[in-house]
Chain A
Amino acid sequence: MKNNKLSIFLKGLIAENPVLVLVLGTCPTLAQTSSVINAISMGIAATIVLICSNAVISALRKIIPDTVRIPCYIVIIAGFVTVVQMLMHAYLPDLYEMMGVYLALIVVNCIILGRAEMFARKNTVLDSAIDGAGMGLGFLLALFAMAFIREVFGAGTITIIPGDPIVIPFLSTYNIPILTQAPGGFLVFGILIAIVNKIGPKKGEGKRKEFSCEGCPSAALCGKVSCSDSIEIAANTAEKEEKI
């Protein structure tokens, strides 16, 4: 059981990293990785919302009817995002100003709604919370990696305290400014995805041979890189059809 919990947590870090493997939440990934502190703030805020929303949605999974599950999920997620926003505005105003509109946009982050739909509504509260923590940490790590590369090599600085960047000798003079801009962001993003796909665990090719992604309801969401959840959904769907 412990291994299961650990595997749920670790899954989100590399094997099913939401940003670099599942390619979800790309908007804040590109927008908030121009400096390290922005990336860390966004990652932590998203993680808190993920854990809380996953836990609550899992706790209410037997109560929420299927017909209104998406509106219910969105209300719950929006509520937590608003709470995080208000708390940051009150107690971390500098970070709140830095994050700007992207804090509110966590509501429509695909990772959060995606994990609610894919995991939280089918698993226990504890497992869902652990999954939220793993995915959130994976999101944070991906953002941190991108931000580190973009800021250090693009601007020659590293910002840990808002408004107080630490200047790195040599790199502050000889840097690659395009990395801090949108094209550079896409470049770094693409390279990181390629690296993770190359060195990461294999993406269930064997399973794909046994189970085709054609007709799978989750193919579009998971990007056809992992069929484990898809197999479970297909099995559940088959069970339901048999009962009917």
Chain B
Amino acid sequence: MKKEAIMPVAVLTVICVVVAALMGLVNSFTAPKIDADNADAVKKSLSIVLPDGSFNPEPDELREDAPETIKSIYTDLNGKGWVAVIETTGGYTGKPIGITAAIDTDGKIIKTVVTRNEESIVPDELKPMGSYGDHYAGKDAYETVDLVTGATVQYTEAAIKNALYDAFLYLGFASDRVLDGAHELMPNVKEFIDITPRKTKPTVSRILEAADGSGHVVCAVTKSSHSGAPETETVIAIDNTGTIIGVKNILWSVGHNLAYGPPPPPSEEAVDAFFQSFVGKNVNEINSVEHITDATGTSNNVKAAFEDALRFNESTEMHPIFRVLGITAIVGGLGGLIAYLVISKKRRTAE
């Protein structure tokens, strides 16, 4: 009986270990080749995005505050600008998309090219060295490009746009949108202090405190359930009574697959009206806000994010009662398993 119970587990475990070892062995000699090919593609892309450019063999040293999407920056020795090698985060499947972008000294894109795209759906334009990057030529940090339809690819496009924005931010051609929003919503406040704790709720990305003590500004985000890419980002100004005094939406990147037919995505006016309807509300009144027509899911996600934002000063640590329940469940489960094994052994002995 013991052998019959243990044998299947043992065989499956051994097979898993052997297969893992085989994959590890193959990876040991393919990974360097793949990395070398990726590096070659990046080097080749430098001359594509800035044909007359001249670069040092090694990229510039990145500052400590460099966003994780920035992999390397090459400064053109002829003074034409910079080339940023970036990898997106988010997208549809979450796999990084490699992009190389040349940015001139006026903060405009000279040329962009996709060097690597392992998403599940890759239109021709978004394939490596495809034509998608051509449409960014001449654009600055605040001009977006919407070319390809389909929800899956819109997530990819959003990821590319966010990554390019990070490049502009790093090079100083874009500003901190959250801080800009904070100053816009609370114009009398001269300084904000970043009090974002190390661990925040996933729907809250930044918390700023007005230096004059008049309130707080919180950035609420909602993310795609597919890949974790940001879908909406909103700056919320909250006074000391916990009431929303101003709202500024800085990102609306909700995918909509036109192949599914109507309804079309909500208009800009409808989105603006939705966000402005939160002004004057406190945490208990959030659910009374009307959702956007035909965007109930997104609206509910935003409301949940706003509620978390209004509760920004509540601890993110697990409530003690849940800790107790969790430990009880684990101990009870283990105890039950041991009891079952002991009782069944006694029964077998008795037989």
Binding site for B on A (CB under 8 A): 60, 63-65, 67-68, 71-72, 75-76, 78-79, 82-83, 86-87, 89-91, 93, 97, 100-101
Taking a contact as CB atoms under 8 Å apart, the answer to whether A93 and B37 are in contact is: yes
5 A/B residue pairs, CB under 8 Å, sorted by A? A65-B8, A72-B15, A89-B30, A100-B118, A101-B120
Residue among A68, A90, A93 facing the most chain B CB atoms (10 A cut-off): A90
Would you call the interface of chain A mostly helix, strand, loop, or mixed?
Answer: helix
Taking a contact as CB atoms under 8 Å apart, the answer to whether A79 and B23 are in contact is: yes
Taking a contact as CB atoms under 8 Å apart, the answer to whether A75 and B8 are in contact is: no
Query: Min CB distance, A42 to chain B, in Å?
Result: 16
A-B CB proximity, top 6 nearest: A79-B19, A90-B30, A90-B33, A68-B8, A101-B120, A86-B30
Per a CB cutoff under 8 Å, which of B12, B20, B30, B118 touches A71?
Answer: B12
- If A63-B11, A68-B12 touch, whether A76 touches B30 (CB-CB below 8 Å) is no
Taking a contact as CB atoms under 8 Å apart, the answer to whether B23 and A82 are in contact is: yes
Taking a contact as CB atoms under 8 Å apart, the answer to whether B34 and A78 are in contact is: no
- If A75-B16, A75-B19, A97-B127 touch, whether A67 touches B26 (CB-CB below 8 Å) is no
Binding site for A on B (CB under 8 A): 7-9, 11-12, 15-16, 19-20, 22-23, 26-27, 29-31, 33-34, 37, 117-118, 120, 122, 127-128
Taking a contact as CB atoms under 8 Å apart, the answer to whether B120 and A72 are in contact is: no
Bound-state Cα–Cα, A213 to B181, Å: 70
Residues of B within 8 A of A100 (CB): 118, 120, 122
Bound-state Cα–Cα, A93 to B117, Å: 12
Residues of B within 8 A of A87 (CB): 26, 30
Residues of B within 8 A of A67 (CB): 8
Residues of A within 8 A of B27 (CB): 86
Query: Min CB distance, B269 to chain A, in Å?
Result: 36
Residues of A within 8 A of B37 (CB): 90, 93
Taking a contact as CB atoms under 8 Å apart, the answer to whether A75 and B12 are in contact is: yes
Residues of A within 8 A of B26 (CB): 82-83, 86-87
Query: Min CB distance, B291 to chain A, in Å?
Result: 34
Among residues of A, the one whose C-beta sits closest to the C-beta of B127 is A97
Bound-state Cα–Cα, A86 to B127, Å: 20
Among residues of B, the one whose C-beta sits closest to the C-beta of A71 is B12
Bound-state Cα–Cα, A68 to B5, Å: 11
Taking a contact as CB atoms under 8 Å apart, the answer to whether A91 and B33 are in contact is: yes
Bound-state Cα–Cα, A90 to B22, Å: 16
Per a CB cutoff under 8 Å, which of B7, B8, B19 touches A76?
Answer: B19
Residues of B within 8 A of A65 (CB): 7-8, 11
Among residues of B, the one whose C-beta sits closest to the C-beta of A66 is B8
- If A82-B23, A83-B26, A97-B127 touch, whether A90 touches B34 (CB-CB below 8 Å) is yes
Residues of B within 8 A of A68 (CB): 8-9, 11-12
Bound-state Cα–Cα, A78 to B15, Å: 12
Query: Min CB distance, B68 to chain A, in Å?
Result: 23
